[in-house]
């Protein structure tokens, strides 16, 4: 068995989580069309058995988008991504624009990393051939990367090719996870993330970055799981937006989250949601610790 750990890195909103889900073949990381969706390291386990029991197990680690932090939560997210770069066997850098643009700071970080590096130019389904060639060439010229590959994480185009290239960096080693495991995150973590994803998708631009989700209760019965969660926001006006007129928006968020949870857990789910205001929680060490962002 050949094994390895790979960090998926890049700026916010370039499609890192969508790529992880595509590689693993299951949704294990939430996605949204808003930057800074990922706040924690999300580990996806890719296992492929070959003849005679040989094969590959690669742990792909999706990291928060690297950006200039505006608060303590942002600093935690960026530190998490940067530290992960130094702990893995290979780096998969995801971009959707030229190297000369907004990725310059991230590329400077990669310049100091000795591990094998690959670049994935994502969203090629949205690029003209000329635009793709220009972006591709800008990363090839840096000399940082073993390979530059154009992909569409959403459609899966060339994702298999990318995995085959990364397999070449793996070495003989033990399996770190059972072969039927696709992520090491517990169901409680995934359930909270599902709620946060629905908030990101339902809310206006000014609200999503100021919300967090904490589970208050999680009780498993034979054919039903009862879940209670608190949605934290930073302003009273945001609380009103989240709840919506006559509670309709919160009901829609809850219904969408509950349906996905039932597909995940395979049982009926009874979900209760509450909304609480915690002003400036993203700069509160107490709140960040209680929400698991300072671990």
Percent of the chain with pLDDT over 70: 92
- What b-and-e string marks burial along 198-224, b requiring 16 or more CB atoms within 10 Å of the CB? bbbbbbeeebbbbbbbbeeeeeeeeee
Q: Domains for the chain: give ranges and CATH numbers.
A: 2-172 (3.40.50.300), 187-290 (3.30.300.20)
Highest averaged pLDDT of the listed ranges 34-43, 90-99, 196-205, 250-259: 250-259
* Average of per-residue pLDDT across 172-183: 90
Q: Which residue has the tokens 């991504």?
A: 81
Taking only the tens place, the pLDDT of each residue in 44-68 is: 999 998 777 689 999 998 887 766 6
Taking only the tens place, the pLDDT of each residue in 73-119 is: 777 767 777 778 778 999 999 999 888 767 777 888 788 788 899 99
Q: Is the pLDDT of residue 39 over 70?
A: no
* Average of per-residue pLDDT across 123-128: 93
Other residues' Cβ atoms within 10 Å of the Cβ of residue 157: 14
Confidence of residue 12 (pLDDT cuts 50, 70, 90): confident
How many Å from the N-terminal Cα to the C-terminal Cα in the chain?
31
Which pLDDT score, from 0 to 100, does residue 186 have?
85
């Amino acid at each position: 068995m050949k094994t390895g750990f790979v960090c998926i890195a890049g700026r916010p909103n370039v499609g890192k989580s969508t790529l992880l889900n595509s590689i693993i073949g299951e949704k294990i990381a939430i996605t949204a069309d808003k930057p800074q969706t990922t706040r924690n390291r999300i580990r996806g386990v890719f296992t492929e058995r070959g003849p005679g029991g040989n094969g590959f197990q690669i742990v792909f680690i999706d990291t928060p988008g690297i950006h200039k932090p505006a608060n303590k939560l942002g600093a935690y997210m960026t530190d998490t991504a940067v530290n992960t770069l130094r702990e893995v066997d290979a780096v998969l850098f995801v971009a959707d624009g030229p190297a000369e643009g907004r990725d310059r700071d991230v590329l400077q970080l990669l310049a100091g990393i000795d591990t094998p590096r690959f670049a994935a130019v994502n969203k090629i389904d949205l690029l003209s051939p000329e635009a793709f060639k220009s972006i591709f060439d800008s990363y090839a010229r840096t000399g940082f990367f073993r390979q530059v590959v154009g992909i569409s994480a959403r459609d899966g185009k060339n994702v298999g090719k990318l995995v085959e290239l990364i397999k070449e960096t793996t070495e003989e080693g033990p399996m770190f996870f059972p072969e039927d495991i696709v992520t090491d995150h517990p169901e409680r973590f995934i359930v909270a993330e599902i709620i946060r994803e629905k908030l990101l998708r339902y809310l206006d631009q000014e609200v999503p970055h100021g919300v967090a989700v904490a589970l208050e209760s999680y009780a498993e019965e034979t054919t039903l799981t009862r879940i209670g969660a608190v949605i934290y926001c930073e302003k009273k006006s945001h609380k009103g937006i989240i709840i919506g007129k006559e509670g309709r928006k919160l009901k829609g968020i809850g219904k969408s989250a509950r349906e996905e949870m039932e597909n995940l857990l395979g049982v009926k789910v009874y979900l209760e949601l509450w909304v609480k205001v915690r002003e400036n929680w993203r700069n509160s060490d107490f709140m960040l610790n209680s929400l698991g962002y300072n671990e």
